[in-house]
Amino acid sequence: MDKDKTYAIAIDGPSGAGKSSLARTAAREIGFVYVDTGAIYRTVGWAALCRGAEDAAAVAALLPETRISMDYGADGAQRMYLNGEDVSEKIRLPEVSMAASRVSALPEVRSFLLDMQRSLAEQSRVIMDGRDIGTVVLPRADVKIFLTASVEDRARRRYQELCQRGTAKDFDQLLREIEQRDYNDTHRAAAPLRPAEDAVVLDTTGNTFQQSLRQILDIIRERIAL
């Protein structure tokens, strides 16, 4: 690996495909910084919920007074701050998922967050996950992976994740919400979710976590001599 080069790895895909946990573990394994851009959108979604900003104009009006920052805790977990307040737990509430999906469709929000995401990739070697990392944020990323899985598989994973957090939810409702978010994310005009032309598409349906991790690390190592 060229010691002076800032490598960037983009992992995009729909909700619940396992991007975060796989990207985080892969980053640890190869010594890269993991950046969860969904958490950044969730922080804007949380800000919109708190301020009751319902429509596009209200959300856009909120942005000039919205300061978003992040750091990494001692355990390596990415922590998100909204105007200095640690909102890392709040942004995981189920209602914030929908709010994040809603605000992420707004071009004003996307351009507001673009520089922040790009400068993170300039500072360190990153594995960045999201929806438009390979297509818009880091179009020159060294490795691009589009991670997907069936809706049922993704709903099952999200269900287990929420149960572990103690915020269990009805499975069918979760499934419908994932379908709705898929629709929102792929049909919005601004940076819709789609694989970059040069992305490797990885379908993890039926895989164990370790199988998917191995496949991701193989794809990375084929393209970057680590």
For residue 13, what are its two tokens?
């895909």
Nearest to 34, CA basis, from 134, 162, 149, 125: 125
User: Is the Cβ of residue 38 or residue 195 nearer to ligand DC in the bound state?
Assistant: 38
Backbone angles phi, psi at 145, to 5 degrees: -125, 135
- The least distance separating ligand DC from the CB of residue 54, rounded to whole angstroms, comes to 17
Map tokens 């060229």 to a residue: 2
Exactly one of 43, 104, 135, 148 binds ligand DC (CB under 6 A); that residue is 104
Nearest to 108, CA basis, from 61, 39, 51, 160: 61
Applying the rule CB under 6 A, the residues between 185 and 224 that interact with ligand DC are 185
- The least distance separating ligand DC from the CB of residue 154, rounded to whole angstroms, comes to 10
Which region, judged by CB under 6 A, interacts with ligand DC, from 25-33, 54-62, 95-103, 164-172? 95-103
- The CA-based diameter of the chain, rounded to the nearest angstrom, is 49
For residue 196, what are its two tokens?
């970059």
Exactly one of 22, 32, 34, 38 binds ligand DC (CB under 6 A); that residue is 38
Q: What does the binding site for ligand DC look like in residue numbers (CB under 6 A)?
A: 15, 37-38, 41-42, 97, 100-101, 104, 130-133, 181, 185
